[in-house]
Structure 1
Amino acid sequence: MPPRPTLYILDAYSLIFQVFHAIPLMTGPAGQPTHAVFGIFRDLLNLRNNSKPHTPAPVIDGGGPVFRSEIYAEYKAQRKEMPEDLTPQIPVIQRLFAAFGIPVLIEPGYEADDVIATLARQGAERGLDVYLCTADKDARQLLNDHIRIYNLRKDQVLDADGLWADWGVRPDQVVDLLALTGDAVDNVPGVPGIGLKTGAKLLQEFGTLDHLLDCVDQVAGTKRQENLRAFAETARRARQLIALRDDLPLKIDWEELRADGYDAKALKALCVECGFHRFLDEIVDEAKPPEASWGTDAYQIIDTPEKLRLFLAELERQPKFSVDTETTSPDPLRADLVGLSFCWGEGVAFYLPVRGPAGSRVLDPSATLEALRPALTDPAVEKVGQNLKYDMLVLKRAGLEIAGPVTDTMVLSYLLESGERNHNLDELARRYLDHTMIPITALIGKGKAQIGMDQVEIPKVAAYAGEDAEAAWRLEAILAPKVKAEGLWDLYADLERPLIAILAEMEAVGVKVDVERLRQLSADFARRLEGIKAEIFALAGHEFHIGSGPQLRRVLFEELGLPVAKKTPKGEPSTDAEVLEALAARHPLPALIVRHRQLEKLKSTYLDALATLAHEDGRVHASFNQVVTATGRLSSSDPNLQNIPVRTEEGRQIRQAFVPGFPGWSLLTADYSQIELRILAHYSQDPALVRAFAEDRDIHTAVAARIFNVPESQVDAAQRRVAKTVNFGVIYGLSPFGLASRLGISQAEAAAFIETYFQDYPGVEAFIDRTRALAQQTGRVETILGRRRAISGIKNTTGRTLNLAERTAVNTVIQGSAADLIKRAMLLVDRGLREAGLKGRMLLQIHDELVFETPDAEIPRLAALVHRAMTTALTLSVPLKVDLATGPNWLDVAPLPAPPS
């Protein structure tokens, strides 16, 4: 008997809300929220590529009054409005369904659940195997031999047998079970004290709800009998609300529902619009002719001295060429050079192997690099590449430095589309060249079978390396004119381009860590964790796995009887930090859990990890990422030094392990003081704010004095804390609710603080309104040096609570300008160090702070140089203030007086 065709019914809003809450916030190139779109896109691709359904059918609530509200007026009454970051994603998801060729079913006046039930019954009766893609537990009542529930993300199917294994009931008992337990999602009350396990046991014993209510006297437990009698009508009403209708008068065009294929062009356009370039490879355009071959078969392998001589003669005549390195590791400071590739025209590329499998013909590494030195260091020759910082570091380890003008296609792409998350070569080739690059796994494999690039046959490496060089060459021809046309070339040439070499040097130098001190701190934290664990167990009355969510929930909410504040997307009581901090007012155990989590993360993420990340030289060589954040700020990775916490004493202790690399040397730190607020004052030109900075007053104290209407001399620590939160929160659209949550005050008090703030500093509100208006008119915002970020979703309204796009716009102007400032300062410091011939070295850039190591004898000169560079990097309408400090490690630094101007 042939297999039955399939019908996949998608409970659209159930899936949309599920992915919205499960996936961290994502934004597209224009700053628009995209995480729900991403989740649905991923699910539909998986469904299409893996299941190939005969008929996919998304169902959406039709809206309007429903019969269940007539039965129970409070039905779904607790449901909040759709989150504002989800609302703009719904039309995009509807376009996504259309691009997949999937018609959406909307039946006005009916709930999606009933439409799903009716569609499922009709589909099964038509000989289809029906799969319900939903997270709604009500749908379990529909299970039968031909109707199942399908978990898209886990690729799991639930049938009647699975239901019995999970809940211990048959499909025909699901409605009665949920009537007993109630349904908090739909605001349907049940019988107090009866959960899924208890309800299932009762139904296993009595069969149905009606029989159970007729035999209450036979139920074990006096309290349970009382609840069943008192809430019998509640349960019967719940049964009416939970039972799904499968007899709606639907007129379904089954032929229209048939999945005939997707619109590849429309899907790819959505990928670009939303920044989902990872999906592009999975979308097959059957109408597109095969891609014409690049020059991969014609790339020349330069593997003899004679070939090298002829190649060099040709290279020397080129005013511009692209270069790429092949190595044995993605870590440039642990990678051995395998070969170099060059390109100076489409279809023209050369590969110079210096390592290869045993018996391969390769060039002598030292002689080859020495021969290439004139071309790679010629100040008149432009070098093009993709992620040139990597190549610079690899060649620097091999004794050769790239000098002269460089054009990095990765950085160019970033300047054009800072909101894009991915600027790697594969993505850029797809995006701009419509070309799919050879995957590296085709050469070295993956997993346990992976080999080194130096073990791959040289012709294969040549094709791969030459393609990389040619792709960079072709991309530069497209991206450089675009950057110039957008007026961004000066930003690249004067700021981002010279920064590439500076970051490469910082990564090569690294920062010394005291591994023994890390071990001491780790042991101390381990002792503290054991002490906290003992306190937790004493309060709980028994031992349990603190890291286990189910065990912790049982202790908090069942054994201690603490209230459930909120639930996870899966419907479980939440035990996140916000919930635990709120519960700490009722019981001491939640506060200890928070403390345990904090110490455990510090120990594992920093103390233990940093010791293993140190290289043979005892230094940690973090990567500084130039093309990651949408605002222009640098980020760091391997390790992420910018996330080392400094608000707690334990977090600050980690800094004690960062030390200078030589005896008689110290660390010097230089930190911009309240730079974002100074930039706010510059942009807003608010007289009170500008005056406070001009007079070098403490800005938080000054704001507190105005908010609380007291002299600055009488501002206490609590008032200053309020002002600091307002200063850094309100300018980014923090709502009264958000401010109240952070300060532990009422929303009315928070609203009053915000109102007073904007009354006292009207220029700030005017700046926010101008930024919002500009973003709405132009679709973008700019930083102080002209860095741009696309923004969409700005409302045509005014008000002090900003949506995501508006917060993004304001944040980009201020934080992005701060990024411009410190990058410019880094260039000036680097130039100053070289011109002065100082031995001191720039090690780290952490937010608004620079960290150096220096001989003690040079501290006064370096401090003066750094102070001058940072305070003069850009001219603002308020003074720039830099706090200098020096000491034997990053924690124990003592303030230095500001050098004379």
Structure 2
Amino acid sequence: MNKLVLVDGNSVAYRAFFALPLLNTEKGIYTNAIYGFTTMILKILEEEKPSHMLVAFDAGKTTFRHETFKDYKGKREKTPPELSEQLPYMRELLDAFNIKHYEINNYEADDIIGTLSKKASKENWDVKIYSGDKDLLQLVDDNIHVAMMKKGITNLDTYDIKLINEKYGIKPMQIIDMKGLMGDSSDNIPGVPGVGEKTALKLLKVHKTVEGVYDGLDQVSGKKLKEKLEANKEQALMSKELATIMCDAPVEASYEDAVVGEHKKEKLVSLFKELEFNSLLNKVDGDREAEEVDIEDLDITYVSEVTKEMLDSPSSLVVEVLEENYHQGNILGVSVANKSGTYFIPTDVALNSKVFSEWAKNKESEKFIFDAKRAVVGLGWENVTLNGVAFDVQIASYLIDPASGSHDISDISRRKNSLLVQHDEDVYGKGKKRKIPEDDTLAQHICRKAAAILALREELDQELADNEQKELFYNLEMPLSVILGRMEMHGVSIDKEELQNMGSELEKKLAEIESIIHELAGMKFNINSPKQLGEVLFEKLNLPVVKKTKTGYSTSADVLEKLQDQHEVVEKILLYRQLGKLNSTYIEGLLKVIHKKTGKIHTIFNQSLTQTGRLSSTEPNLQNIPIRLEEGRKIRHAFVPEREGAVIFAADYSQIELRVLAHICQDDQLIEAFRGDMDIHTKTAMDVFHVEREEVTSNMRRTAKAVNFGIVYGISDYGLSQSLGITRKEAKGFIERYFESFPGVKDYMDNIIDEAREKGFVTTMLNRRRYLPEITSRNFNQRSFAERTAMNTPIQGSAADVIKKAMVDIAERMVEKELKSTLLLQVHDELIFEVVPEEVETMKALVPEVMESAISLDVPLKVDVSYGDTWYDAK
């Protein structure tokens, strides 16, 4: 039998959005609704295995029902922009899944579903509808079932005729009569005031329909009820009409057109990567087969001895180090390409050659490289210094096309129609299949990279010039890559014993909290088991169920936070989880990555990842150690100086993004506040709440702070309401008053959107670009996302430029002054150094001076410095 699945797209999207916490990608794309929607689609495909499937969406705000009742759905709040921006991605994903989606002007998704389901049912198709809207229960018949979402999106009840009768005591078609009498507040269907579900069902069991109720009005018991019914007859009949799904809507799409095709695997994988759905990738990707690439072998020279003649200037250089061996040395081979030829130099030949090491160290010998930072690290572990990096293909590609999903040499060469290079995975394999290929294959692969770099450099250099980005590239990003490489090589000293002691203390504390939880719960159970925890909270302690999953009760963090006021055990469980994560992720996690040779931690800085230009840190992420919880802050105790008597020295930009905003938007009030060294959050509170300085309360300042930083990140009234725990109306009022107080900010935001629309991109103060092709989209949701991005990218990106420039300037000044102190880390707006005792006073003067003059603004940049025996003591 043919099986048709029809999905109420808007209903699933809304449920997913409000069921999951607000998530976003590194690029700022909101994804919670897309993720929930995608998991539902995957679940349907896996469990239902439909032959045909269609997702119906509402086409617009008005439908033919508004002609009957203009206030139909009139009390619904405007869709949060954080959700609106996700809807186009859902349609894109459906296209990639090869699942038909459809909408029709003047009709609702319900009408599309009603029309298609009834036609299919007449031909004895098996039909299943997925929705959270009870209106669709009216469609149930012998062939049509409705999977109704209750809490969240995975907790479903499947309704057939029998279940509707058990639950309501009526037939499916009587659902419209029930709605006619009781109304529906979610759709603003009025019904009969004072008649609820219980009364409506009681009436229908006797009179069958709304019309039947009025035909037998004399038989209705209760004077008040009879009066209400009598006074609202037209409204009841109209409400029934509004609740009736049209099953003969002019739907051009046929259910037979909705054949489930094969996934467009490449498109799905690309979207999942863009949306950072890493946990879902295996469901659509599996093991990637090696790419078949038909390429002729390069003419290469195998080198047994390095000579000066083969190291011409300029040359491209590849130092091949695989990802998993990044900080272990393990160079697989070296290749050099220049006008005289392409050379493969085996690792032992290169590392034992004085000619090669002197050439590598020579600042005058120009090297073109892909990922200079990795080359610095790879050679550095072998005690070979790399200088003279004149071009980095990876960074050039990143600046020219920051939105590209990949800046791998193979993908860049394809985009530029240049010399073809295979993906590393296709040469080395991945996971358990990872292995080093035969010598000839390895040599060809590494040499093709060198030849591709040489072929790409001129074109990329010209594109940088066309974009007016050469200064950004050559004076900022290029020198920074070498600095980051040396920071990675140097690493950060860690007190292993201190970490172990912290772990022991945390385990002791966890055991104490576990005992308290068991006492409060009145029984012993496994707190880490969601199943057991759910049973204790919702069955034994009878706490209200917030959300269910397919495996039982949800005990996620957002659920527990909503239950904190219900029972004191909940707060203890949340603390237990936080401390448990600290122990596993940060204590045990950091202990695992202490380098065997150095005893230090060597993080990796990602320079070509974020579209705003910010650096990120991985393996481990030292920018993300949680410090709001004191136990998290204490982890910084373990980060110590390497040298005797040295201190950890921290220098932190104060409110850099707001200062950049003041400079860019030229708002007089903001500029005056920063020039007068006022507390900007207090100043904002004074203006927004119309109070004097001494009247500003801590709560007012907290609200002002949320508005200040929210504006920088393009926050909406919905986003602000969620962060402050207030209504959207109140949040909207705060934002409006903010713009009244700082009109220059509003003007900037309007102007930057116009500029983005005209140019197709926005820039930072140092000319970093972010392209926004959706800014002129006819699709409102895509356009609004681009507008929000246009507003905040110049601010966030310029702040990133400032701290990068400070890093380059400080490195230069420290070399000039021959200082022994070392730059260790960059953590958002903060630089961390190890400073030897005799240089503390010098650094106290030098670091703020350099950081505050990194870029000239119309407001002063302000840097706070502190230092101590550990990273913890430095703050």
- Asked whether 1:351 is paired with 2:332, we answer no
Deviations 1:66-89 (Å, cap 9, x if unpaired)? 99x99x999999976544344456
Instruction: Encode CA deviations 1:765-797: one digit per residue, 9 max, x unaligned.
Output: 333333333334433222111112123666999
Aligned pairs for 1:625-636 within 5 A: 625-636=606-617
Q: Which residue of 2 aligns with 1:858?
A: 839
Residues 1:413 and 2:397 aligned together = yes
Range with greater deviation from structure 2 (775-784 or 753-762)? 753-762
Quick one: distance in 2 between partners of 1:636 and 1:182? 60
Are 1:544 and 2:525 counterparts?
A: yes
CA distance 1:140–1:444, change in 2 (3 Å): farther
Deviation, structure 1 residue 99? 8.7
Question: How far is the alpha carbon of 1:832 from its aligned partner?
Answer: 1.0
CA apart distance, 1:60: 4.3
Q: Which amino acid aligns with 2:594?
A: A
- Structure-2 residue corresponding to 1:84: 81
Q: Is 1:399 the counterpart of 2:375 in the alignment?
A: no
Paired residues of 1:668 and 1:885 also in contact (CA < 8 A): yes
**Aligned counterpart in structure 2 of residue 325 of structure 1, from 319, 324, 336:** 319
Q: Is 1:618 aligned to residue 599 of structure 2?
A: yes
Distance 2:726 2:421 in 1: 56
CA-based RMSD of the aligned residues comes to 5.5
C-alpha change, 1:460 and 1:875, in structure 2 (3 Å) is: same
**In structure 2, what is the equivalent of residue 389 of structure 1?**
373
Against the structure 1 CA distance between its residues 180 and 469, is the aligned structure 2 distance closer, same or farther, given a 3 Å change threshold?
Answer: farther
Note the 1:535-574 alignment, pairs <5 A. Answer: 535-563=516-544, 567=547
C-alpha contact 1:141 1:173 (8 A) present in aligned 2: no
1:879 corresponds to = 860
| Equivalent position to 1:422, from 406, 426, 432 | 406
In the alignment, does 2:466 pair up with 1:472?
Answer: no
Is the contact made by 1:779 and 1:792 (CA closer than 8 Å) also made in structure 2? yes
State the partner residue of 1:828: 809
For residues 190 and 174 of structure 1, the distance between their equivalents in structure 2, rounded to whole angstroms, comes to: 21
Partner of 1:815, secondary structure, is helix
Cα distance in 1 for partners of 2:574, 2:708 equals: 27
Q: Distance in 1 between matches of 2:511 and 2:354?
A: 58
Residue equivalent to 1:220: none
Alignment match of 1:597 (pick from 577, 587, 593): 577
Q: Report whether the alignment pairs 1:364 with 2:349.
A: yes
- Secondary structure of 1:659's counterpart equals coil
Per-residue CA deviation, residues 256-309 of structure 1 (Å, 9 max, x unaligned), is 6678999999x799979989999999999xxxxx998444x234251534xx55
Q: Distance in 2 between matches of 1:73 and 1:743?
A: 34
Question: 2: CA distance between counterparts of 1:513 and 1:677?
Answer: 34
- Whole-Å Cα distance in 2 between the matches of residues 751 and 245 of structure 1? 37
Going from structure 1 to structure 2, the CA distance change for 1:540 and 1:74 (only over 3 Å counts) comes to farther
Distance 1:792 1:424, change over 3 A: same
Over 3 Å counting, the alpha-carbon distance change for 1:680 and 1:65 in structure 2 is: closer
Aligned to 1:491: 472
- What's the counterpart of residue 686 of structure 1? 667
Contact in 1 for aligned 2:17/2:33 (Cα 8 Å): yes
- Contact in 1 for aligned 2:5/2:129 (Cα 8 Å): yes
Is 1:607 equivalent to 2:600 in the alignment?
no
Amino acid at match of 1:648: L
Rounded Cα–Cα distance in structure 2 between residues aligned with 1:685 and 1:733: 18
Aligned partners of 2:320 and 2:446 also within 8 Å: yes
Q: What residue is the counterpart of 1:516 in the other structure?
A: 497
Q: 1:334 aligns with which of 328, 339, 345?
A: 328
Bigger Cα displacement from structure 2, 773-782 vs 702-711: 702-711
SS at match of 1:851: strand
Q: Which runs of no fewer than 5 residues in structure 1 stay unpaired?
A: 151-157, 192-208, 215-236, 285-289, 355-362, 895-901
Counterpart residue number, 2:227: none
Which residue of 610, 628, 634 corresponds with 1:647?
628
| Contact kept? 1:142, 1:171, Cα under 8 Å | no
After superposing the two structures, state which structure 1 stretch, 38-47 or 634-643, moved more.
38-47
State how far apart, in whole Å, the 1-side matches of 2:170 and 2:626 are.
44
Is contact 1:666-1:855 (8 Å) kept?
Answer: yes
CA distance in 2, matches of 1:504, 1:114: 60
Shift of 1:544: 3.4
2:302 matched residue in structure 1? 302
Q: Give the distance between the partners of 2:91 and 2:117, measured in 1 at CA.
A: 22
| Structure 2 residues not aligned, in runs of 5+ | 148-153, 183-200, 207-236, 286-290
Contact 2:54 2:102 in 1 (8 A): yes
| 2:185 alignment partner in structure 1 | none
In structure 2, C-alpha distance between the alignment counterparts of 1:772 and 1:573, rounded to whole Å: 45
- Aligned mates of 1:394, 1:79 — CA distance in 2: 59
Counterpart of 1:603 in structure 2: which amino acid? N
Amino acid corresponding to residue 580 of structure 1 in structure 2: L
* In 1, Cα distance between equivalents of 2:507 and 2:180: 46
What is the DSSP-based 3-state SS (H/G/I as helix, E as strand, rest coil) of the residue aligned with 1:325? strand
Aligned-partner residue type, residue 390 of structure 1:
R
Asked if 2 retains the 8 angstrom alpha-carbon contact of 1:277 and 1:427, the reply is: no
TM-score (norm 2): 0.76
The whole-number CA distance in structure 2 between the counterparts of 1:687 and 1:474 is 50
Contact 1:180–1:190 at 8 Å: present in 2 too? no
Q: 1:745 to 1:449 in 2, by over 3 A?
A: closer
Q: Which of these residues, 803, 822, 830, is aligned with residue 841 of structure 1? A: 822
Q: How much does 1:57 deviate?
A: 4.7
Shift of 1:879: 1.7
Cα 1:432–1:592 change in 2 (3 A) is farther
State the distance in 2 between where 1:181 and 1:666 align.
77
- Could you tell me which residue of structure 1 aligns to residue 511 of structure 2? 530
Deviation at 1:621, TM superposition (A): 0.6
Shift of 1:515: 1.3
Pick one of 743, 746, 749 that aligns with 1:762: 743
Change (3 A) 1:44 1:574: closer
1:676-715 C-alpha deviation (Å, 9 max, x unpaired): 2222222233333323322333333444445555554565
SS of 2:592's equivalent? helix
Match in the other structure for 2:222: none
**Conserved in 1, the CA contact under 8 Å of 2:500 and 2:587?**
yes
Match for 1:689: what amino acid? L
Q: Indicate the SS of the match to 1:781.
A: strand
The 5 Å alignment of 1:101-112 reads 104-106=101-103, 112=109
CA 1:436–1:551 in 2, change beyond 3 Å: closer, same or farther? farther
Contact in 2 for aligned 1:32/1:792 (Cα 8 Å): no
**SS of equivalent to 1:723:** helix
Whether contact under 8 Å (1:181, 1:189) holds in the other structure is: no
Alignment-mate amino acid for residue 669 of structure 1: A
Distance change in 2, residues 1:97/1:349 (3 Å)? farther
* Whole-angstrom distance in 2 between the partners of 1:106 and 1:50: 25
**Alpha-carbon distance in structure 2 between the residues aligned to 1:751 and 1:111:** 29
Identical columns (%): 33
Aligned length: 803
Partner of 2:564: 584
Query: CA distance change for structure 1 residues 182 and 803 in 2, over 3 Å: closer, same or farther?
Result: farther
Deviations along 1:332-390, one digit per CA (max 9) or x if unpaired, are 221311211233489x7432223xxxxxxxx63433x4332354345454422322211
Shift of the 810–873 alpha-carbon distance from structure 1 to 2, 3 Å rule, reads same
| CA distance 1:492–1:860, change in 2 (3 Å) | same
CA shift for structure 1 position 113: 6.1
Alpha-carbon distance in 1 for matches of 2:648, 2:501: 21
Q: CA deviation at 1:745?
A: 5.5
What is the distance in 2 between the residues matched to 1:589 and 1:88?
38
Listed as ranges, the matches of 1:115-264 within 5 Å are 119=116, 134=130, 173-176=162-165, 179=168
* Counterpart-to-counterpart distance in 1, 2:75 and 2:541: 27
Q: TM-score under structure 1 normalisation?
A: 0.74
